[in-house]
């Protein structure tokens, strides 16, 4: 069976790298394009199985590219997920009018990016490499400051042990250091992915607390966390 192909279309290289990092555990071939014109050339040549396409790009924007794609009988079955830079209703309407199959709004979380993709391509892997990590985590919620201790970490998120309970999707801002690395990571944006309540734990083997999903972390921070995870896996 041929390896599935996913095309990422965005004029911002940093965002392309972020999307590529989301897919690094998936058995797929990743293609990239910087605008709609490049995307159409690649689509006609490679016939990708799934496309993530930015809304606003030079030369040819996402809605125009998607409309051309969906008007072609040979290509219209390829699913397109449009990525908007803001959740404005007019942008969402542009996505719908273009004929795209779904849409995301930036900042894009890894979990939502992969969950949207799995609707059209089951081979996308949502698993993350997680390693044990015990360090003080300071977090801010609605301008209130709290602290807890991490239990584990991955490139996509961190579990914070605390008695303070937060609802899923609650925005949080975290600061913590990585053990033995000397790196202090500050003002990392995230959102609560799940809560492990002390009274009704989802995972009894885990302590009370909540899992936080990082939201579009700075590439330098993402690289630091990834290096820590990889080194921790190799440690005896």
Rounded Cα distance, 195 and 8, in Å: 32
Task: Kindly report, residue by residue over 179-199, the tens digit of the pLDDT.
Answer: 877 788 999 999 998 999 877
Residue 75 has pLDDT above 80, yes or no: yes
Task: Kindly report, residue by residue over 9-62, the tens digit of the pLDDT.
Answer: 999 998 898 888 888 888 899 999 999 999 999 999 999 999 999 999 999 999
What is the pLDDT, as a whole number, of residue 217?
Answer: 63
Strands 209-214 and 50-54: unpaired
Per the model's pLDDT, the better-predicted residue between 126 and 13 turns out to be 13
Query: What DSSP element (H or E) covers 140?
Result: strand 136-141
Contacts of residue 112, defined as CB under 8 A and 6 or more positions apart, other chains included, come to 104
Confidence band of 202 (pLDDT split at 50, 70, 90): confident
Give phi and psi for 58, each to the nearest 5. Answer: -75, 165
What is the pLDDT, as a whole number, of residue 140?
Answer: 95
Per the model's pLDDT, the better-predicted residue between 25 and 5 turns out to be 5
Task: Kindly report, residue by residue over 86-124, the tens digit of the pLDDT.
Answer: 667 788 888 888 899 999 988 787 888 898 999 999 888
Per the model's pLDDT, the better-predicted residue between 207 and 109 turns out to be 207
pTM for the predicted model, two decimal places: 0.69
What is the pLDDT, as a whole number, of residue 10?
Answer: 95
Q: Three-class SS of residue 212? A: strand
Across 13-51, b (16+ Cβ under 10 Å) vs e yields eebbebbebbbebbebebbbbbbbebbbebbeeeebbbb
Task: Kindly report, residue by residue over 139-175, the tens digit of the pLDDT.
Answer: 999 889 999 999 999 888 999 999 988 998 899 999 9
Confidence band of 216 (pLDDT split at 50, 70, 90): low
């Amino acid at each position: 069976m041929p390896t599935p192909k996913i095309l990422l279309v965005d004029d911002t290289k940093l965002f392309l790298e972020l999307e590529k990092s989301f897919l690094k555990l998936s058995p797929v071939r990743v293609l990239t394009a910087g605008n709609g014109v490049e995307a159409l050339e690649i689509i006609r040549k490679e016939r990708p199985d799934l496309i993530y396409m930015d809304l606003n790009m030079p030369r040819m924007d996402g809605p125009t590219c998607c409309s051309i794609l969906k008007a072609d009988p040979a290509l219209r079955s390829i699913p397109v997920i449009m990525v908007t830079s803001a959740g404005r209703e007019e942008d969402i309407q542009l996505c719908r009018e273009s004929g795209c199959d779904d849409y995301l709004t930036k900042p894009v979380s890894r979990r939502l990016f992969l969950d949207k993709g799995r609707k059209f391509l089951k081979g996308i892997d949502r698993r993350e490499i997680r390693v044990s990590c015990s360090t003080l985590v300071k977090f801010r919620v609605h301008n209130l400051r709290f602290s807890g201790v991490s239990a584990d970490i991955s490139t996509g998120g961190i579990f914070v042990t605390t008695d303070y309970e937060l609802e899923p999707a609650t925005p949080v801002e975290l600061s913590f250091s990585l053990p033995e690395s000397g790196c202090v990571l500050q003002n990392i944006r995230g959102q609560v992915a799940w809560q492990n309540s002390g009274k009704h734990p989802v995972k009894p083997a885990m302590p009370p607390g909540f899992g936080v999903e990082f939201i579009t972390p700075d590439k330098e921070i993402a690289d630091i966390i990834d290096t820590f995870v990889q080194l921790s896996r190799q440690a005896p």
